[in-house]
A and B are shown apart, each in its own frame.
Chain A
Amino acid sequence: MRIALLYPELLGTYGDGGNALVLAERARRRGRRVELVTVTLDERLPGADLYLLGGGEDGPQRLAADLLRRGDLAARVADGARVFAVCAGLQVLGTSFAVEGDDRYDGVGLVAATTVRGERRSVGDLAVRVGGRLLVGFENHGGRTRLDGAVAPLGEVVRGRGSDGRHDGFVTERVVATYAHGPVFALNPWFADQVLGAALGEELEPLATVADRLYAERCARLGP
């Protein structure tokens, strides 16, 4: 399996590159072979089973959207590739988003989601109920993301604001996105395994790591 971390120099302001490390390491410890590639902004989009996008500042976010629109991310996804995105990465995958100097900037259009400027910036702990479990992280963004009726949110917000105060992120057949930094896969081992398992096409056996203690501590602090 190949994981491609996209444009960390543009979408890596909030440590989200750590998500790639966590996935690769959790696969490796189970004896799975995972190739991790980092794609910089002067490179062509390589083929991969899973593409990762992180958060970033307004200018770089705009540039990332341009690169991804010009590249063939949508075609890769149509061919079966998966995408996991955080924050600015989430906004970029939608049809449009707001950035400094531009209220409506074109996204990749992979998911029917639009992001407008929120009334204030959301900075703080974020907890989201996803299925029966808690997803914990830290949000830091000024966007308000609206989903087309056909697109399912990732989960319901328990603490913080997420996309709109009620829901966070979105899930489609091959695309998963959230506003949670942390990095989110480091804080939520179960979530990392869910995305990793989906990309590998198999159910993963449990893996004990020190991250389990971190997740328990964060849940105790942020949970309902």
Chain B
Amino acid sequence: MARRPRSSTWLAERAVLVVNRVSRALGRGEGTVIGGRAGLALDPTLLSGLARGRTVVLVSGTNGKTTTTALVAAGWGEPVAVNDTGSNMVQGHVAALAGRAGVPAALEVDESWLPGIAAATRPAVVVLLNLSRDQLDRANEVRRVAQRWRDLCATLTDTVVVANASDPLVAFAAETAPVVAWCDVATPWRLDAVSCPHCTAPLRFESAGWSSACGFAQPVATTVLSEGSLSVDGLEVDLDLALPGSVNRANAAFALTALARVGVDPRVAAARLTTVSEVAGRYARRPWRGGEVRLVLAKNPAGFSAALEEVADAPGELWIAVNARMADGRDPSWLYDVPFERLAGRTVTCLGERRLDLATRLDYGGVSVRVADDPPDPPPDRSVTVVANYTAFQEWNARTAP
């Protein structure tokens, strides 16, 4: 394979570090994308140069990328290079690896970038979490992504693919991979996998797993997560997470399976996960304007559905903020795929640029609404749970940052 001379990688890597340092010093954000861009301009193959000689774990999927990547890093037990500013395309990966020679890497990867990033980094492990509808206006229809992953998986001869066996679209993608560690995490979201990706017949979901008339069926898993227990390659693992909800138990199961495949004992790694209580503001509790707010990110129907399970009965007030900018997907129609009826009987404060779309959805779902053009002051005596989609969450994270 023709590779760029080492000197060009070195020069480009310096550029990433310098530009990012300047960018941060100037207060222009977290300084990752711009430095990455500068380095890639000098050496377009910079990522493969930086990835050479280190153990790389890639994490992709519609939901849980950032959290699972953080859990992989936390469980590893040594310094890990992570793109933890949420920049999950090549610029962010380059910035995460620059200046961290030889350090293992846990990188979250945008679903559509995965084939290119995997080709450049030659990862030890690729984690495929789930696939569901997200950002409808980008026309990255879910099944098209599944097909691209499937093509990629067929090429991953030196990689273990850690894949969600409970998600039929992920199973479709990963079944071409030479080595797969299948995880049964009982993914509850099925709206995007009603018909078989092979033959389009309706999929049957039973307690033993899903199956199709054509014979395509849920693969036998080596990692099995159930209500009370987790087993990884036959080892029983105690999961005692500070992060809430069954979604994060599933994220942890993927992270521990990935770590097992790079030689980290999942029981030892699991003990390291107990201290992770927030990830990039997600699940953070923050004092704010004399009250307390807890921040929850939910950016698509599957994510919202999982978040509602966790917040529906939470004490205190429930505020939901929805934007529809480019990064959110400009069409908020997905609000009608979220089972907001779960909140019937509660009053929800509707915030964000698309608060009226949200209020309309909630109203038709039997939920009382209060529309607020600006965030009200939180009550001093009760906590507030703020569920926000992507850019709305970033605003809330910044607004309440300590």
Contacts and interface: CB of A to CB of B under 8 A. Distances in A.
B313 interface: no
Contact of B336 (A15, A57, A124, A211): A15
B310 interface: no
A186 B200 contact: no
A63 B369 CA distance: 39
Contacts of A42: 202
Which one of B142, B335, B369 has the greatest number of beta carbons of chain A within 10 Å? Answer: B335
Which one of B357, B360, B371 has the greatest number of beta carbons of chain A within 10 Å? Answer: B360
Contacts of B233: none
Contact of B337 (A12, A140, A214): A12
Contacts of B137: 123-124, 138, 140
A210 interface: yes
B313 to A, nearest CB: 23
B195 A63 contact: yes
- Band of interface residues on B: 20 to 34
B137 to A, nearest CB: 5
Majority secondary structure, A binding face: mixed
A87 B138 CA distance: 16
A213 B359 CA distance: 10
B364 interface: yes
A186 B360 contact: yes
A194 interface: no
B347 interface: no
Given A15-B336, A140-B136, A209 B202 contact: no
Interface string A169-211: 0000000000001110011000000000000000000000111
Interface stretch (B1-9, B24-32, B175-183, B326-334): B326-334
A63 B356 contact: no
A182 B200 contact: no
Contact of A181 (B142, B331, B365): B331
A194 to B, nearest CB: 18
Contacts of B267: none
- Band of interface residues on A: 35 or more
B331 A14 contact: yes
Contacts of B136: 13-15, 140, 181
B140 to A, nearest CB: 11
Given A138-B137, A138-B331, A181-B333, A210 B202 contact: no
A121 interface: yes
A63 B359 CA distance: 34
A106 to B, nearest CB: 17
Nearest to A13: B133
Contacts of B335: 15, 18
Contacts of A217: 356
Interface of B: 133, 136-139, 141-144, 191, 194-195, 200, 202, 330-331, 333-337, 356-357, 359-361, 363-365, 369, 371
Given A121-B139, A183-B336, A211-B360, 19 more contacts: A13-B133, A14-B136, A14-B334, A15-B335, A40-B202, A41-B202, A57-B143, A60-B200, A123-B137, A123-B139, A124-B137, A182-B331, A187-B357, A187-B360, A209-B360, A209-B364, A211-B364, A213-B359, A214-B359
Interface of A: 9-10, 12-18, 21-22, 25, 40-42, 57-60, 63, 121, 123-124, 138, 140, 181-183, 186-187, 209-211, 213-214, 217
18 contacts: A9-B202, A10-B195, A12-B337, A15-B136, A15-B331, A18-B333, A18-B364, A21-B336, A21-B365, A41-B194, A59-B200, A124-B137, A140-B136, A140-B139, A209-B363, A210-B359, A210-B371, A211-B360
